[in-house]
Amino acid sequence: MQNNQRKIGVILSYAVIALNMIVGIVYTPFLIRMLGQSEYGLYSIIYSVMSYLTIMDMGFGNAIVIYTSRYINQGDKEKQDKLHGMFFTIYCVIGVIATIIGLILFFNVNNLFESTMTETELSEAKVMMLILTFNLAITFPLSIFGNILTAHEKFIVSKVIKIIQILLQPMMMIPLLLLGYKAIAMVVVLTITNIICLMLNAIVCFKHLNVKLKFKGIDFKLLKEIFAYSFYIFLNAIIDKVNWSLDQFVLGAVSGTVATAVYSVAGKLNSMYMNFSTAISNVMLPKVTKMEDSKATNKAFTDIFIQTGRIQYLLMALIITGFVLFGQVFINWWAGEGYEEAYIIACILMIPITIPLIQNIGLSILQAKNLYKYRTIIFLGIAILNIAMSIPLAKIYGGIGAAIATSISLILGQGIILNIYYHKKVGINMIEFWKNIIRMTIPMIFAVVFGIILNIFLVSDNILILALKIIIYTVIYCILVWFFGMNQYEKNLIRKPLYKILKKQTYN
């Protein structure tokens, strides 16, 4: 049953990603054009600033999944209920603290952005900060229920709720844009849809999982143990925010809303790219936790690391090579005039992030083994380096400079140092992993060469020609990796569902 939840969860994860892409491709150009660069940049700046407050989760979300999974395996319902009650209380306190910090930011908007924003933009920024502060105050206490669903491996329900959220936002926002509403309406819609989905998570937990919140005081011994586990995940969340939100904040302070808008388009494409990888790894944390609890061998962890990484690489390599080949024309059509530089920024961000994206199950393994400490310390140093490089590079080269700083930090931290750590300290055979990746890359190189030839002979900015080139390239890529890159396990992942469908069609 859990295996089915996991498999369907992965399928629905990709359905969520596909839906996100469809909505993004259709809705984002409309959104950008209706808002204009200034309003879109303003929204991106304020959203990135307020997103820093999400780090106040302090890594407790992952701890809830880990410890709830553990108590489920032990069959101890009483401990589950006490754990959930304790964390609901803690998250309420965090929500209050987030509100106070949000208000402090609200009163300092002028100090942060007066050199690059107009009076109107500053006024809008303050309203948006207040709304997003309210959003966070509600989100923290209710976020516990999404973690509980994950711990129970109810991936189908959680993904369906996510699909509802993806569809609700444009459905509510498009009429408002047509009526002339701008960035403030966006954060209102974001807040409403977020609260609706959080409430749906809570309803499922109470009605179908019989979740109870027992408020019998805080178990400080357990909290100390959990905090020791969560502390480095918390630091890692800070580092991730520095890496992925710093650039927009810096650009907003030194270059203004237009440069931030261009960077945000590249960032949106990068986020879509990252989501393709996390669809698999996001459902693996409960499984690797059980492996660690049952004292699985290093070979077992290596096998699952390689197996997951290979599947992720098959997809990620298709996307990144396709984007490098055809991305410039796509962005010109999709985002419109004034966003040409977003292609270069996106390539600078997406190419180096490919390495950690095909290895992100390693993060679940580190969490399950409680080995986040070393990774976080190294990444903290890399984040500081990113900050030191981003500010001067952004001043000189704008969005491209900020992206270069982030890229260098990714290559050093996640591309080199983390791989050494996986191999030396965690016990994962990274040499065998990279042998697999190199063997898979050979047919992909031939596909890229074909794509370059395709661009030479089909030179056009026409969207239909672009679509034709993407389809032809995808077909050639799939044929080459099927015969020369994929193993039998990976082929069976495709064959078996097809056989079942064909079998049903035959009987019908």
> Would you list the DSSP string of 192-254?
HHHHHHHHHHHHHHHHHS------S---HHHHHHHHHHHHHHHHHHHHHHHHHHHHHHHHHHH
pLDDT at residue 347 in the model = 96
pLDDT digit string, tens, across residues 36-93:
878 888 888 888 777 777 778 777 887 888 888 888 888 888 889 999 999 999 999 9
Tell me which range, 359-363, 378-382, 496-500, is most confidently predicted by mean pLDDT.
359-363
pLDDT at residue 258 in the model = 79
- Residue 475, classified by CB atoms within 10 Å of its CB into exposed (0-12), middle (13-18) or buried (19+), is exposed
Least confident range of 114-118, 133-137, 485-489? 114-118
Q: Which two tokens stand for residue 284?
A: 């693996």
Other C-beta atoms lying within 10 Å of the C-beta of residue 235 = 21
Other C-beta atoms lying within 10 Å of the C-beta of residue 377 = 11
> What's the one-letter identity of residue 83?
L
- As a whole number of angstroms, the distance between CA 416 and CA 63 comes to 27
Q: How many CA atoms lie less than 13 Å away from 74 in the CB half-sphere?
A: 12
pLDDT of 3 higher than 60: no
By C-alpha distance, which of 349, 351, 327 is closest to 404?
349
Q: Which two tokens stand for residue 229?
A: 């586990």
pLDDT at residue 5 in the model = 56
Question: Is residue 197 within 8 Å of residue 162, measured between CB atoms?
Answer: yes
- As a whole number of angstroms, the distance between CA 295 and CA 306 comes to 19
Residue 341 host element (H or E): helix 341-357
Q: Which two tokens stand for residue 147?
A: 């973690």
The pLDDT confidence band at residue 101, using thresholds 50, 70 and 90, is very high
**Phi (first) and psi of residue 143, to 5 degrees:** -65, -20
- As a whole number of angstroms, the distance between CA 495 and CA 482 comes to 12
Average of per-residue pLDDT values in the chain: 86
pLDDT digit string, tens, across residues 448-462:
999 999 999 888 888
CA angle 184–185–187, rounded 5-degree value:
70
Question: Is residue 329 within 8 Å of residue 455, measured between CB atoms?
Answer: no
Question: Is residue 5 within 8 Å of residue 153, measured between CB atoms?
Answer: yes
Burial call 297-314: b when 16+ CB within 10 Å, e when fewer: eeeebbebbbbbbbbbbb
Please list, in sequence order, all residues whose beta carbon lies within 8 angstroms of the beta carbon of residue 144, skipping any fewer than 6 positions away: 64, 84, 87, 88, 91
Q: Percent of the chain beyond pLDDT 70?
A: 94
- The residue-averaged pLDDT of 370-384 equals 78
- As a whole number of angstroms, the distance between CA 114 and CA 122 comes to 7
- The residue-averaged pLDDT of 92-99 equals 92
pLDDT at residue 10 in the model = 64
Q: Which two tokens stand for residue 508?
A: 């019908």
The DSSP code sequence of 238-282 is HHHHHHHHHHHHHHHHHT-HHHHHHHHHHHHHHHHHHHHHHHHHT
**Phi (first) and psi of residue 211, to 5 degrees:** -75, 135
pLDDT at residue 283 in the model = 60
The pLDDT confidence band at residue 7, using thresholds 50, 70 and 90, is low
Please list, in sequence order, all residues whose beta carbon lies within 8 angstroms of the beta carbon of residue 490, skipping any fewer than 6 positions away: 310, 311, 314
* Look-up of token digits 């040499």: 431
In terms of pLDDT, which residue wins out, 18 or 297?
Answer: 297
